[in-house]
Amino acid sequence: MSTEKLFQPTNIRSLELRNRVVMAPMTRQLSPGNFPNEDVIEYYVRRAEGGTGLIISEGTCVDHPASNGYPDVPYFYGEKALKGWKVITEKIHQHGCAFFPQLWHVGAMRETGSQPDPKIEAVSPSGLIAPGVRHGRTMTLKDIEDVIGAFGRAARSAADIETDGVEIHGAHGYLIDQFFWEGSNHRMDKYGGGLVERSRFASEIITEVRRNLNVEQVLSFRMSQWKQQEFQARLAQSPKELEALLMPLVSAGVDVFHCSTRRFWEPEFEESDLNLAGWVKKITGKPTITVGSVGLDAAYIESDKKTGVVQIEDLTEVANFQSLDRLTERLSREEFDLVAVGRAMLANPDWANKVKQKRFNDLRPFQKSELGELL
């Protein structure tokens, strides 16, 4: 296979990336005290040393009382946390790699008793975590204003520590995606209704983030059709509906869309073999990042169709070269611009260098246990 296109430089806004390989954001829950410690710092630095062009951090909670949902995830506020992210940014830059923190609010996915205050309830558009499933409380207009402000403060912090940009997590059934999804957004005000109205919350966050970033910093937006709550959920049933959802986000200031699918090779709509990243690029004209089982021979998450129980597959192989062939062929025809690698890069911090050098036999198999380790 030819991997040449994967290692060509590219630009987003004024940011030049040395190649098209992105480290995908992966929740680690390995930051006791909610700040990136030395082990976390070195975890990211190893991927920069390994040839990655852009690292997007694990989800980092914004400064809102209900933003966090899980133990030991890092925050993107507070002196100790921001000091750690500044060190990460500086060290990654020393290796020629760019860095975006991913800004995150979990919404209704907040587990009862979560940090920092166990008494804080989950919040969401309509007090729903999924269709017909109540959890937490419905957000007031003041709640919405507070969350938008928290994302803005995080963007200002990213500007202060001189990251290359930020990514807003708008996917996977977390808060912003809960506003997108008609299954969890039953609001009757300006934040509910059709696709355009349900995108208003995201648009206002994007506008506030863009306002607080430096002019040269990149704003990435992560989106998905699927939700943790329902893998088969779809925000848009057609390209026309996808356009209605996306164009307000473009107008608000998105520079690049990070399009999360479970398998990058699957077509998004029947009329074309384009995947989600391909359709988003075609509709918006913006650069896109594709992601979904890159370098793996099976999907990571599956749900039992009868019980709905989510299971993690025990993967023992890492490199599906047929899928890499398909990946580089699609990249070469400019269906998308960048490729995010997740679990394969957990097993191989130097995944980019190994693939560039065609050292496929040196790629270590991904093991499920590595999800809980800082390798």
Residue pLDDT, tens place only, 238-259 = 999 999 999 999 999 999 999 9
Residues 27-73 have pLDDT tens digits of 989 999 999 999 999 999 999 999 999 999 999 999 999 999 999 99
Cα separation, 373 vs 325, whole angstroms: 29
| pLDDT at residue 365 is higher than 80 | no
Q: Is 174 a catalytic residue?
A: yes
Q: Are 36 and 74 in contact (CB under 8 A)?
A: yes
Q: Token pair 């930020």 is at which residue?
A: 166
Q: How many other C-beta atoms can be found within 10 angstroms of the C-beta atom of residue 329?
A: 13
Percent of the chain with pLDDT over 90: 80
Q: Are 290 and 340 in contact (CB under 8 A)?
A: yes
The Cα 203–Cα 186 span in angstroms is: 18
Average pLDDT over residues 315-332: 68
User: Are 315 and 297 spatial neighbours (Cβ–Cβ below 8 Å)?
Assistant: yes
Residue type, 226: W
Pick the residue with more confidence: 304 or 39? 39
Look at 178 and 271; give whichever has higher pLDDT.
178
How far apart are the two ends of the chain, measured CA to CA in Å?
A: 28
pLDDT at 317 over 50: no
How far, in Å, CA of 106 to CA of 124, rounded? 9
User: What are residue 10's DSSP bridge partners?
Assistant: 17
pLDDT for 226 equals 93
pTM score: 0.93
Alpha-carbon span 89 to 100, nearest angstrom: 8
Q: Note the pLDDT of residue 1.
A: 63
DSSP code at position 222: E
Residue tagged active-site, from 43, 44, 174, 191:
174
Helix (H) or strand (E) holding 290: strand 288-291
CA triple 246-247-251, angle to 5 deg: 125
On the question of pLDDT at 363 being above 80, the answer is: yes
Q: Phi and psi of 129, rounded to 5°? A: -100, -25
Q: Determine contact, residues 219/253, Cβ cutoff 8 Å.
A: yes
Q: Residue 122 pLDDT more than 60? A: yes
